[in-house]
Amino acid sequence: MTQSPRSGPAFVPSRNPLPKPDPVAAIVVGAGLGGLAAAMRLGAKGYRVTVIDKLDKPGGRASSISKGGHRFDLGPTIVTVPQGLRDLWAVCGRSFDRDVKLVPMDPFYEIRFKDGETFTMRQSEAAMRDEVARISPGDLGGYEKFLNDAEKRYDFGYEDLGRRPMNKLWELIKVLPRFAVLRADKSVYAHAASRVKDDHLRFALSFHPLFIGGDPFHVTSMYILVSHLEKAFGVHYAMGGIQAIASAMVKVIEEQGGKVRLREEVDEILAENNRVSGVRLASGEVLPAAVVVSNADAGHTYDRLLRNRFKWRWTPEALKRRRWSMGLFVWHFGTKGTAKMWQDVGHHTVVVGPRYKGHVHDIFMRGHLAKDMSLYVHRPSVTDPSVAPRGDDTFYALSPVPHLGHEGVDWSVEADRYRDRVAEVLEQRLIPGFREKLTESVVFTPETFRDRYLSPYGSGFSIEPRILQSAWFRPHNVSEELPGLYLAGAGTHPGAGVPGVLGTAEVLAQLVPDAPKAMAQTAKQRMAAE
């Protein structure tokens, strides 16, 4: 497994016992949305929580970079299940809507195909029927069947399996008949193709797994539930970007008496008497804890943070056998004086390349950096003026690419070339003349994801969500390798995406016992006095 660069000195495990951890002390490794949500839920259970993150801002992949008056939101750009955030805040006795302003998107996004056809996604059922009928009238009945299929999978896969622990094999065995009835063995694309015949609609109904790191031609059809999520809950943008949500989460944690320590990296998760006892930072500082939650990538957690511990399931060899999600090439850029240009370009646009199946095969199976591409383009400045100087625009263009485990792509050479090819597609298909208006520019490649987020192989979304890498087959929210260790984030159950990583914290909270009441009360009184 490709290792992330180490920081700090090389430590030898001490034979001297560590300080006995306070029973109400909990540490969360990583301030991504999953880790912050876990910290909030642990705080609500009476723990005194410390969150450690190597970045300078909270949010992990949902953090941001500011440059030249532009705020570049680095990760997720939409919220599809606002109720999940409202429930999280309510558990902590607070109101999400008082802390963060969500704006509903209408339309959700526009898909632009190479042949000039478009598909505009909206929440209105009537508008969507009209859109499908405009493209392919004969597919309207199949489209409605597809939505019914998506709702059934949402009820089972999201509201049932996705909101409860799946760390026991019996939990999987019990639901196998339901998996069979719902044909979970079929891929997302195969299911879409069985319902509609038009290629434009097949793409529009099947591309969503790419947003959580999955190959639509191999990921289980359970993930068509995303179509129901959009229809039922809408697509929203957080004013201030997803960074605003992460910052609001930090505020809740601090008001609970917890701490968030940035620009510090956890080097190792420690154990005493076959139970978690805390963490060691790259600086050498040891922080005792009775509970440790790792929001680091599951691969990094087991391969790096538990490197001095014997592992029976998540060994380096087992991790190498996993199929990892694709890498991402993301170009963040600003343009000068363009706020009133390109009036037909909205907040979210998907620019589809000439190939679908072949291109996806190049990315996931061949590991080949193809010349053609499909792009997701984010233009938040049409909704949120705070992302750019007055009159200017902020964009990002995202292209799925092979992860680093495939080898053969030298990003120190290819990054500039690939950015130029992205620019050509944007010029020709979406925002002509933008290169003359360019100001700021920030490029992320899979190497950036490896180094910045400590992602194995620079993968964009951890382990790919195939059927035999989901639910019980995925790294569990409670570690079987070390009692007292729990996992949150995209690499564990239920998976990637904002609703998914928030769901990992919800599941995790069902597994962590409440803090001892007397000790928790004493800790609260001590914090109040401080």
**Measured in whole angstroms, how far is the alpha carbon of residue 36 from the centre of its chain?**
13
> Mean pLDDT, to the nearest integer, of 171-178?
86
In total, the chain counts a number of residues equal to 530
From residue 86, alpha-carbon distances to 149, 185, 249, 324 in Å are 27, 34, 12, 31
Q: Is 267 helix (H, G, I), strand (E, B) or coil?
A: strand
**Measured in whole angstroms, how far is the alpha carbon of residue 53 from the centre of its chain?**
16
Same domain, 317 and 356: no
> Mean pLDDT, to the nearest integer, of 280-288?
96
Residue 3 has pLDDT above 80, yes or no: no
Q: What is the Cα–Cα distance from 310 to 128, expressed in whole angstroms?
A: 54
Residue 529 has pLDDT above 70, yes or no: no
Task: Enumerate residues 6+ apart whose C-beta is below 8 A from 444.
Answer: 74, 328, 329, 330, 331, 332, 452
- Choosing from 175, 201, 232, the residue where a domain stops is 232
Q: How many domains does the chain have?
A: 3
Same domain, 347 and 440: yes
Same domain, 187 and 153: yes
pLDDT of residue 341: 96
Q: Are strands 286-288 and 275-281 parallel, antiparallel or unpaired?
A: antiparallel
Q: Is residue 352 part of a domain?
A: yes
Residue 388 has pLDDT above 70, yes or no: yes
Q: Is residue 9 part of a domain?
A: no
- 2 band by pLDDT with thresholds 50, 70 and 90: very low
pLDDT, mean over the chain? 92
> Mean pLDDT, to the nearest integer, of 307-327?
94
In this structure, what token pair is assigned to residue 458? 């620079």
Contact between residue 453 and residue 75 where contact means Cβ atoms under 8 Å apart? no
Q: Is residue 107 part of a domain?
A: no
Residue 530 has pLDDT above 50, yes or no: no
Same domain, 448 and 516: no
- 5 band by pLDDT with thresholds 50, 70 and 90: very low
Residue 304 has pLDDT above 70, yes or no: yes
Q: What is the Cα–Cα distance from 132 to 119, expressed in whole angstroms?
A: 8
Task: Enumerate residues 6+ apart whose C-beta is below 8 A from 7.
Answer: 265, 267, 282
Contact between residue 521 and residue 29 where contact means Cβ atoms under 8 Å apart? no
> Mean pLDDT, to the nearest integer, of 233-257?
96
Beta-sheet strands, E only, within 362-489: 375-378, 393-401, 438-444, 485-487
- One-letter amino acid at 32 equals G
Same domain, 91 and 52: yes
- 222 phi, psi to nearest 5 deg: -55, -25
Q: pTM score, two decimals? A: 0.92
pLDDT of residue 266: 98
- 14 band by pLDDT with thresholds 50, 70 and 90: very low
| Each residue's pLDDT tens digit, 444-464 | 999 999 999 999 999 999 999
> Mean pLDDT, to the nearest integer, of 186-211?
96
Same domain, 216 and 285: no
pLDDT of residue 208: 94
| Each residue's pLDDT tens digit, 68-86 | 999 999 989 999 999 999 9
Q: Is 251 helix (H, G, I), strand (E, B) or coil?
A: helix
pLDDT > 90: percent of the chain = 85
Residue 516 has pLDDT above 90, yes or no: no
Same domain, 474 and 448: no
Q: Pick the residue with more confidence: 162 or 293?
A: 293
Q: Is residue 112 part of a domain?
A: no
CATH number of the domain bearing residue 387: 3.30.519
Q: Is residue 197 part of a domain?
A: yes
pLDDT of residue 526: 47
Same domain, 446 and 337: yes
HSE on the CB side for 281, CA within 13 Å? 19
In this structure, what token pair is assigned to residue 323? 């199929």
**Measured in whole angstroms, how far is the alpha carbon of residue 349 from the centre of its chain?**
19
> Mean pLDDT, to the nearest integer, of 115-144?
96
Q: Is 22 helix (H, G, I), strand (E, B) or coil?
A: coil
Q: What is the Cα–Cα distance from 52 to 39, expressed in whole angstroms?
A: 11
- Choosing from 203, 232, 261, the residue where a domain stops is 232
pLDDT > 70: percent of the chain = 94
Same domain, 265 and 218: no
- 179 band by pLDDT with thresholds 50, 70 and 90: confident
- 18 band by pLDDT with thresholds 50, 70 and 90: low
CATH number of the domain bearing residue 280: 3.50.50.60
Q: Is residue 41 part of a domain?
A: yes
In this structure, what token pair is assigned to residue 322? 């996993």
Q: Which of 199-208, 293-302, 509-518 has the lowest mean pLDDT?
A: 509-518
Residue 319 has pLDDT above 80, yes or no: yes
Contact between residue 320 and residue 513 where contact means Cβ atoms under 8 Å apart? no
Residue 484 has pLDDT above 90, yes or no: yes
- 124 phi, psi to nearest 5 deg: -60, 125
Same domain, 159 and 84: no
Question: For residue 209, is the peptide bond before it cis, meaning its omega torsion is within 30 degrees of 0?
Answer: no
- 9 band by pLDDT with thresholds 50, 70 and 90: very low
Q: What is the Cα–Cα distance from 172 to 474, expressed in whole angstroms?
A: 12
Same domain, 313 and 331: no
Q: Is residue 20 part of a domain?
A: no
Q: What is the Cα–Cα distance from 295 to 170, expressed in whole angstroms?
A: 26
Q: Is residue 396 part of a domain?
A: yes
Domain boundaries, position 279: 25-65+76-101+240-322+463-529
Q: What is the Cα–Cα distance from 381 to 389, expressed in whole angstroms?
A: 9
- Choosing from 202, 232, 262, the residue where a domain stops is 232
| Each residue's pLDDT tens digit, 355-369 | 999 999 999 999 999
Same domain, 96 and 151: no
| Each residue's pLDDT tens digit, 405-448 | 998 899 999 999 999 999 999 999 999 999 999 999 999 999 99
Residue 518 burial (CB count, 10 A)? 10
